Amino acid sequence: MKQELVHVSLVVDDYDKAIKFYTEKLSFRLLEDTKLSETKRWVRVAPPGSVGCSILLAKASSEEQLSRVGNQTGGRVFLFLHTDDFYRDYESLKQNNVVIVRGPSVETYGIVAVFSDLYGNLWDLIQPG
């Protein structure tokens, strides 16, 4: 048996604003932006060099969904971004004015910092050790 996680859906309030943040501030690649209807698009982004799972930017289509933008996990870290060069990517986040929630620390699993995306979702930037 083989299974693979291919997309993680991230609820956003605006496709273009989200694309701009992920591609310009985090240097993610825009993998796909396909119009499905007048209000819905299939938008996928992924970190540079990533060959696995991508993020599906899903525009909120109801008040309930809109209420979840930025808080899909109740304030816990939502996504974990591994890097091969922690300090390069950490400095890039700072230069791009990405909000750093907790600065670098050395843990048993590697070097880690917590940052937030444009909506307030928390991410770990990790260089495994």
Average the pLDDT over 94-109 and give the result: 98
> Domain with 86 in it: what CATH number?
3.10.180.10
Residues in a beta bridge with 81: 125
- Do 91 and 103 reside in the same domain of the chain? yes
Average the pLDDT over 50-75 and give the result: 94
User: Tens digits of per-residue pLDDT, 12-27?
Assistant: 999 999 999 999 999 9
Mean predicted lDDT score pLDDT of the chain: 97
- Do 84 and 123 reside in the same domain of the chain? yes
3-state secondary structure of 30: strand
- Do 13 and 65 reside in the same domain of the chain? yes
pTM summary value: 0.94
Distance CA 127, CA 107 (A): 10
Q: For the chain, where are the alpha helices, taking DSSP H only?
A: 15-20, 63-68, 86-95
- Do 30 and 83 reside in the same domain of the chain? no
- Do 7 and 46 reside in the same domain of the chain? yes
Number of folded domains that form the chain: 2
Question: DSSP of 86-121, one letter per residue?
Answer: HHHHHHHHHHTTPEEEEEEEEETTEEEEEEE-TT--
* Mean pLDDT lowest among 19-23, 72-76, 106-110: 72-76
- Do 59 and 78 reside in the same domain of the chain? no
State which residues form the domain around 128: 73-129
HSE toward the beta carbon, residue 111, CA cutoff 13 A: 11
Q: What percent of the chain has pLDDT over 90?
A: 98
- Do 109 and 93 reside in the same domain of the chain? yes
- Do 7 and 49 reside in the same domain of the chain? yes
User: Tens digits of per-residue pLDDT, 111-121?
Assistant: 999 999 999 99
- Do 23 and 62 reside in the same domain of the chain? yes
Distance CA 108, CA 89 (A): 20
pLDDT of residue 10: 97
- Do 64 and 108 reside in the same domain of the chain? no
Over the Cα atoms of the chain, what is R_g? 15
